[in-house]
Amino acid sequence: MRLAELSQRADVPRSTIKFYIREGLLAPGAVHARNQASYGSQHLERLELIRALREVAGLPLEVVSRVTAELDRGWQGNPIGEALRAMYVPPTHSSSHASKAELERLTAEVKEFLRALPWTTDEDYHDNAREIAATILQVRRYLYPDFAVAQLAKYAEIAWLLSEAEFTGAPEGPGVPIRARGDDIAEPTRRAILGTVLFERIFASLRRCANTMRSMRISLGEKVPPARVTRPGRSRATRRKPKSKRR
């Protein structure tokens, strides 16, 4: 297709497309006679990815550019890692020497905690650890001065349970590319980044709702029903597509 059609189908202005090509986020079209370039479905997909990363995930252009560069490296790259790192930079308000040293120490402790979990791999989780450590410093400062890293155990356990539910329940299966098969990683990357962002919002909303309801019930002396977890392995209901659309 020509530039005009690409622009229309992707709903991205032509000048923006040209800018992406200049900046290396998008491959140039194949040049034919009469100096006309033609674009294929991979251009359309890439533009949709860029739009989603900008609009839904709220990533700045330079980060989107790093993600697409990693995508272009294929299995040698780490586009999801780049995106997640960029999305969740822990705020570093306090920059005194003392608190920097404390953050380093705590980050090392959180790393050790993560490494000891049954489900972690050898993958580097420095960024996660640092982010968690920075937040624990605030928890200690504003809420529980004695909050220990070991108290994360419950959260980690439930995070792994949620992860199991999410992967099992994904309408089209986990959609994880298999390295040995040489699967294409572009579309799984898009889904992983957007799934991370969107379901994080949904889950956070439900958690706030749950905590509000729980404190209402306690405050008013009402019954607090115990949590009940149906393991995704036992019930296959979440695996199926919805029987009917209830819209």
Residues in 189-228 at the binding interface with a copy of itself, rule: CB under 8 A: 191-192, 194-196, 198-222, 224-228
User: Per-residue x/- marks for a copy of itself, 90-129, CB under 8 A?
Assistant: ---x-----------xx--x----x---xxxx-x-x--x-
- Report in angstroms how near the CB of residue 12 gets to a copy of itself at its nearest: 15
Per CB under 8 A, does 71 bind a copy of itself? Answer: no
Helix 186-220 and helix 79-87: axis angle, to 10°?
Answer: 40
> According to CB under 8 A, which one of 55, 62, 76, 97 is a site residue for a copy of itself?
55
Per CB under 8 A, does 60 bind a copy of itself? Answer: no
- Report in angstroms how near the CB of residue 43 gets to a copy of itself at its nearest: 18
> Contact region for a copy of itself (CB under 8 A) — 7-15, 20-28, 29-37, 167-175?
167-175
Per CB under 8 A, does 238 bind a copy of itself? Answer: yes
Per CB under 8 A, does 229 bind a copy of itself? Answer: yes
- Report in angstroms how near the CB of residue 77 gets to a copy of itself at its nearest: 13
> According to CB under 8 A, which one of 32, 34, 97, 154 is a site residue for a copy of itself?
154
> According to CB under 8 A, which one of 150, 182, 184, 186 is a site residue for a copy of itself?
150
User: In angstroms, rounded to a whole number, what is the distance separating the alpha carbons of residues 209 and 226?
Assistant: 16
